[in-house]
Structure formats: structure tokens, C-alpha cells
């Protein structure tokens, strides 16, 4: 059975499917989760704290998903194309993630306000992490770029800048398709942007070309 914190976060996310964040009540979130309102406040401190926790979970899930995709035993270009496609698909299906990675929150979304300076730290470690600050879109782009570069395992310093630029371009192309989807999807333009990257990675690792 999920822990109380997960039950409450799931209940809050489900409420967002029916109501704007301004209409989501803490007492209703606790009731749907089958927990007391005091438990809810113990976990999150306030409605703003709940919002920060929701967004923190979306960010973590997204980055963990990126890592799973990058762990596939396929060619570098194939893995990066999969990251782009997965990003577009997840953002399409998860409105809160879409708001987080684009910075376009809208009135329905719980755009979280930063924790007040000097506020008493939450007793729950996961909440202290959420209250410490949430990633901006450019920080998520950098996080995916760095994870992609690490997953490719390229060690030569002379090629790392180009590989880093290619990895970042993949994420930015994916975000453009999140904002303005068109045509057959993001796969083809990403492959165009990645032309030659498999050979580049092999060279960086000292692996002979397959040709």
C-alpha cells in the first residue's frame, strides 16, 4: 500500500483533473486519500507546500524516466530520439509536467510559490527537499543534457562540447513539439540534428567504426 504522502499526492493530482488548483480544498484531498487533515498538514505544512511537493514529484518522475530511456542498450542516436519522443508523450499526457518543463502554468495549475524566508523547516525530509526550490525549465533542460552526456559515456574532452550541444538540442527540439506539435512527430528532426553522432561517440570512446 502506498505511504500516506503518496496517497495524498495522488489525491491532489486526481482533484486537478476536475478542478482548478484554486478550487482544490485540503480537506477534500485528505478525505479522498482516506487520511486526516492533520496528517496532510503534517506532511506538507500548507497548500503551497502541497503544490511544491506535487511539482517536485513530477520533476523527479520525469528525470527518472529519462534515465530509464537512456539505459536502453541501443545506439546513441536511438536513445536520444527515444528521450525526445518520451518527453513529448509524457508532457502531452501529464499537464503538470507540461507546465513545469515549459513554464506555462495557466490558471488551473498549482504554480507553487517559494517557501517563505525564515520559515520553519518541514519535519518531513521529502518536504524539506520540495521546499528548498523547484527546477526551472532551463534547469531541467540542463539536467537532461547532462544525463544524456553521461549515458553516452564519451570521455574525450575535445568532443564533449559538441556532444553536449547535440544532447541539449534534442531536449529543446522536444520542448518545441510540446508547445507546438506538428507533422509526424519529433523523431525525424531529432535524427537530422543527430546525424553522425553514433560515429562521434565511437570515436570519443576509441571504438572502431562499424563500417
pLDDT tens-digit map of 83-128: 999 999 999 999 999 999 999 998 889 888 888 776 777 788 999 9
Q: Which value, in Å, is the radius of gyration of the alpha carbons in the chain?
A: 20
Distance CA 194, CA 66 (A): 18
What pLDDT band is residue 181 in, cutting at 50, 70 and 90?
confident
Q: 27-81: per-residue pLDDT in tens?
A: 999 999 999 999 999 999 999 999 999 999 999 999 999 999 999 999 889 999 9
Helix (H) or strand (E) holding 189: helix 187-193
Total residues belonging to the chain: 211
d(C-alpha 62, C-alpha 16), whole Å: 19
- What's the grid cell of residue 12? 491532489
Mark out the alpha helices in 46-136 (DSSP H runs): 47-70, 76-93, 95-102, 125-131
pLDDT band at 207 (very low <50, low <70, confident <90, very high): low
- pTM of the model as a whole: 0.88
How many C-beta atoms lie closer than 10 Å to residue 120's C-beta? 8
> In which residue are the cell numbers 492533520 written?
38
Under 8 Å CB-to-CB from 136, ≥6 apart: which residues? 103
Three-state DSSP class for residue 36: coil
**pLDDT class for 211, splitting at 50, 70, 90?**
very low
The phi and psi torsions of 58 (rounded to 5 degrees) equal -60, -45
Cα–Cα distance list, 102 to 79, 106, 147, 157 (Å): 22, 11, 19, 31
d(CA 46, CA 54): 12
The answer to whether 187 and 81 are in contact (CB under 8 A) is yes
Instruction: Report whether pLDDT(163) > 60.
Output: yes
Please tell me the distance from the alpha carbon of residue 149 to that of residue 165, in angstroms, as a whole number: 10
Per-residue confidence band for 205, with pLDDT thresholds at 50, 70 and 90: low
- Break the chain into its structural domains and give their ranges: 1-44, 59-205
Task: For 1-44, give the CATH class.
Answer: mainly alpha
- What is the Cα–Cα distance from 200 to 156, expressed in whole angstroms? 10
Amino acid at each position: 500500500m502506498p505511504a500516506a504522502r503518496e496517497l495524498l499526492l495522488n489525491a491532489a493530482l486526481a482533484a486537478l483533473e476536475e478542478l482548478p488548483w484554486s478550487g482544490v480544498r485540503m480537506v477534500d484531498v485528505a478525505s479522498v486519500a482516506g487520511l486526516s487533515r492533520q496528517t496532510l498538514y503534517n506532511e506538507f505544512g500548507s497548500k503551497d507546500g502541497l503544490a511544491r511537493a506535487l511539482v517536485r514529484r513530477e520533476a523527479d518522475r520525469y528525470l527518472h524516466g529519462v534515465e530509464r530511456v537512456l539505459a536502453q542498450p541501443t545506439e546513441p542516436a536511438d536513445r536520444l530520439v527515444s528521450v525526445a519522443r518520451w518527453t513529448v508523450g509524457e508532457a502531452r499526457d501529464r499537464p503538470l509536467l507540461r507546465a513545469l518543463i515549459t513554464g506555462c502554468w495557466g490558471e488551473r495549475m498549482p504554480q507553487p510559490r517559494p517557501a517563505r524566508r525564515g520559515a520553519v523547516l518541514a519535519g518531513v525530509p521529502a518536504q524539506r527537499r520540495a521546499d528548498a526550490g523547484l527546477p526551472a525549465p532551463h534547469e531541467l533542460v540542463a539536467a537532461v543534457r547532462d544525463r544524456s552526456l553521461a549515458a553516452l559515456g564519451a570521455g574525450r574532452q575535445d568532443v564533449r562540447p559538441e556532444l553536449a550541444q547535440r544532447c541539449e538540442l534534442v531536449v529543446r527540439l522536444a520542448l518545441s513539439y510540446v508547445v507546438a506539435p506538428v507533422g509526424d512527430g519529433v523523431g525525424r528532426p531529432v535524427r537530422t540534428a543527430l546525424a553522425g553522432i553514433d560515429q562521434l561517440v565511437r570515436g570519443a570512446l576509441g571504438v572502431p567504426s562499424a563500417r
